[in-house]
Amino acid sequence: MKKIKMFLFLAVLVLALVPLNLFAESSQSNNLIAVYDVSKGEMINVEKIEKTDAEWKKELTPEQYHVTRQEGTERAFSHSYHHLKEKGMFKCSNCGTDLYSSDTKFDSGTGWPSFWAPVSEKNVGMKTDRKFFMLRTEVHCARCGAHLGHVFDDGPKPTGKRHCINGVALNFVPEKQD
């Protein structure tokens, strides 16, 4: 029994002393996610983006940081994207991942850009949000975790969904004219 305890103690000790960077290559492959790239018309593997709060604060405007990293909400009708009618792609303002096509945008009358579907369910993630004594579905960028807004079941056909998205969480790229 003493030999087993000693073996377990030594095994734990050795594992504790092994430099963590030996496992870096295997953890990087676990850091890949598949997202849909509209310009390529296919799923691609990209690295998930993880940064410290200090890094995000340096890269984002104060409003972008508040909304996308602290799960805030911009004021209704405060961003120009809610009435934008131009053709193009709405990308994550934090990492550039394709999120919503103007083809799925509609006027919900809420004051926030609204879409009935993302370009791919793989490009966004969803989780239950119980803040403010409400039960809602929060939507975030699958690649960098940026809070985008919420999804509701009162949207138009064909999905019946309304992705109500904060404008500061998006960057609009107009469609190229041939």
Dump strand ranges (E) for the chain.
Answer: 32-37, 42-47, 88-92, 98-101, 105-106, 114-115, 124-129, 136-141, 147-152, 162-165, 170-174
Known catalytic membership, residue 144 = no
Q: Exactly one of 92, 141, 144, 164 is catalytic; name it.
A: 164
Do residues 140 and 125 lie in contact, with contact meaning Cβ atoms separated by under 8 Å? yes
How far apart are alpha carbons 124 and 68 in whole angstroms?
A: 13
Active site residues: 164
